[in-house]
Amino acid sequence: MSYFVTGTDTDAGKTLISCALLHAFGAQGKRVVGMKPVAAGGCDEDDRNEDATKLRTASNVVAGYGQTNPYCFSHAVAPHLAARFVGVSINLERILQSYSELAAQADVVIVEGAGGFRVPLNDRQDMVDLAVALELPVILVVGMRLGCINHALLTVDAIRASGLPLAGWVANVLDEGMAMLDQNIDALKLRIAAPLLGVVPRLPFPDAQEAARRLDLRLLSQ
């Protein structure tokens, strides 16, 4: 019942959809917790990441911040560069240990990646290696804007090549004035061999509970 959430790019809406999934599963009576293994940028005065904090707020399982966000860096750059800047090397074993602790407390763990599916974590490993190590089915967030079809299909190819199942995808509208939005969604539905879990419109204010109402978890495939 746990999933790895990736996106077509940075700012595709991974946090919004991850929080929406937490709300949707929570509404089913599940114990849910969100995890942001690596975060770069968006830190508050306590050096806590904004996205990780949103995931914690959407969770109904109380876990330590270090469990939900093992690596937090202040520089808003690729994770391997943010880590290198402070002399840290991102270790997958540390992330796996935190995930194991969360999974022991919850029915559903929603793990949100950083950036896209091939973002480097260190000199040898990237986000794909983390997803494979976690052995989780993937949910893809497609940021609906010009160019998204190419980005989405390349990401789907990378997910398939990793050997992980693509459990479903979400169309998250970033550009409400996008030309031929419905036709773009239809083109992706024809080409992605996984269910469209929902279309989330451009909301005046990001609202994970409203986004949750746009998702159909019954369509999720493992």
Give the Cα separation of 92 and 71 in Å (integer).
Answer: 10
Residue 31 has pLDDT above 70, yes or no: yes
Give the Cα separation of 175 and 17 in Å (integer).
Answer: 16
pTM of the model: 0.95
Active site residues: 36
pLDDT of residue 45: 66
Residue 190 has pLDDT above 70, yes or no: yes
pLDDT digits (tens, 9 = 90+) for 40-83: 987 776 778 999 999 999 999 999 999 999 999 989 999 999 99
More confident residue, 140 or 177: 140
Is the distance from CB of 37 to CB of 66 less than 8 angstroms? no
**93: CB partners within 8 A, 6+ apart:** none
Residue 222 has pLDDT above 60, yes or no: no
What are the DSSP calls for 21-87, one per residue?
HHHHHHTTT--EEEE-SEEES-B-TTS-BHHHHHHHHH-SS---HHHH-SEEESS-S-HHHHHHHTT
- Topology given in CATH for the domain delimited by 3-219: Rossmann fold (3.40.50)
